[in-house]
Amino acid sequence: MAACAGPDSETGGSSGIDAAADSVPPASLHALKWGVYLPASESFSESYGQVSDIAGAHPDYVLKFAALAEAVPAVQLREISGLGATPILSLEPWDPPAGSGGDDATAAAVAQPDFALSRIAAGGHDVGLIRWATGLRDLGFAVVLRFAHEMNGDWYPWAVGVNGNTSGDYVAAWRHVHKLFRSVGASNVQFLWSPNVPVANQTSDLAAAYPGADAVDILGLDGYNWGEGDGHTWVEPAALFDAGLGQLRALPGTQPILISETASAEGAAAGQSKAEWIARLMSHCSSQERVMGFIWFDANKERDWRISSSQAAQAAFAASLAKVV
């Protein structure tokens, strides 16, 4: 995984997509939905209950990752829906590197020409895609499909600029997948288009890979505060998200916007507080036009992204969430 990539890939309550800083007038705030990525476990029920207790509210969404070659995780998706949450399924067209659990986008993982976007658009993976489309259709409840996310980075084989992929190839591949799902009657599946926040040395024009309002139900945006180290610096929520949010709002269409992956490291220097970052995130999201919620990446991975990484962070999350849900 490249240094700027989101810490996402897991290979290994509501239906559908439908703290505040004192400087933001309460009248400008709107209610948010929220969700969580939970690391793979035998039971989502236990981990869902634990994070609900920590946050003081039940997540509306649970984010899960799966590779295209994998079987549809029907049991887990049913469990998530049964808890009252909507599953958000990040479907990744690649073969995760052996032994990595899908967590590290190594050079070998990125260099997978079999998953070039032009091949997807030409029908080279239709067997697998139709299997997913019919499997999700047959669940009979709302599922959000987040296909080939963070296409504007360089850490996945489906990314623009990798394996010969162009923005036009991405649009063609997305529209092909959307057409397949609709052709089998998977009307319970909504499509979430989810670029990464624009970062230096990566594709900054999100519009070029936008598949169109007729093929996208929800706009997403991924972004993390990595804190200091490994080439990163501390970044506050407004600085992290505002440029990308502006680009999303300028696209054709009026879809809701979801912060589809986010989290913060603990601060390592004076003035760097994860607790304060959490409060600012929720306040800022709640004040932003069309932003309807966020998904927190609750895992101890490249950083300790968890809500419970410290007592201060945990308390801030619960107090801030109570103001915006």
Q: Where are the domains of the chain?
A: 26-324
10-residue stretch averages of pLDDT, the chain, 325 residues long:
46 41 54 94 84 97 96 96 97 75 61 94 98 98 98 93 95 98 98 91 81 98 94 94 96 98 93 96 97 97 95 98 96
Tell me the β-bridge partners of 91.
66, 147
pTM, rounded to two decimals = 0.91
Instruction: Provide the 10 A C-beta neighbour count for residue 166.
Output: 14
Let me know if domain 26-324 sits in CATH 2.10.60.10.
no
In this prediction, residue 15 carries a pLDDT of 40
Contact status, residue 263 vs residue 298, Cβ threshold 8 Å: yes
Instruction: Enumerate residues 6+ apart whose C-beta is below 8 A from 42.
Output: none
Residue 66: what are its φ and ψ, rounded to 5°? -155, 145
Cα–Cα distance for residue pair 247/267, rounded to 1 Å: 29
Contact status, residue 46 vs residue 312, Cβ threshold 8 Å: no
Residue type, 245: L
**Closest of 132, 126, 159 to residue 5, by C-alpha:** 159
Contact status, residue 164 vs residue 114, Cβ threshold 8 Å: no
Categorise residue 267: left if φ over 0, alpha if ψ from -120 to 50, beta otherwise: beta
List the beta strands (DSSP E) in the chain.
33-37, 61-67, 86-92, 143-147, 189-193, 218-225, 257-264, 291-297
DSSP helix/strand/coil, 27 = helix
The long-range contacts involving 243-249, CB below 8 angstroms and separated by at least 24 positions, are 243/197, 243/198, 244/195, 244/197, 244/198, 244/206, 245/221, 245/288, 245/291, 247/198, 247/205, 247/206, 247/207, 248/206, 248/219, 248/221, 248/290, 249/289, 249/290
Instruction: Provide the 10 A C-beta neighbour count for residue 320.
Output: 23
In this prediction, residue 229 carries a pLDDT of 85
In this prediction, residue 231 carries a pLDDT of 86
Q: What is the DSSP string of 144-189?
A: EEEES--TTSSSSTTSTTSTT--HHHHHHHHHHHHHHHHHTT-TTE
In this prediction, residue 7 carries a pLDDT of 54
Computed over its alpha carbons, how large is the radius of gyration of the chain? 18
Q: Number of C-alpha atoms within 13 angstroms, CB side, residue 2?
A: 18
Cα–Cα distance for residue pair 103/95, rounded to 1 Å: 12
**Closest of 315, 317, 224, 292 to residue 263, by C-alpha:** 224
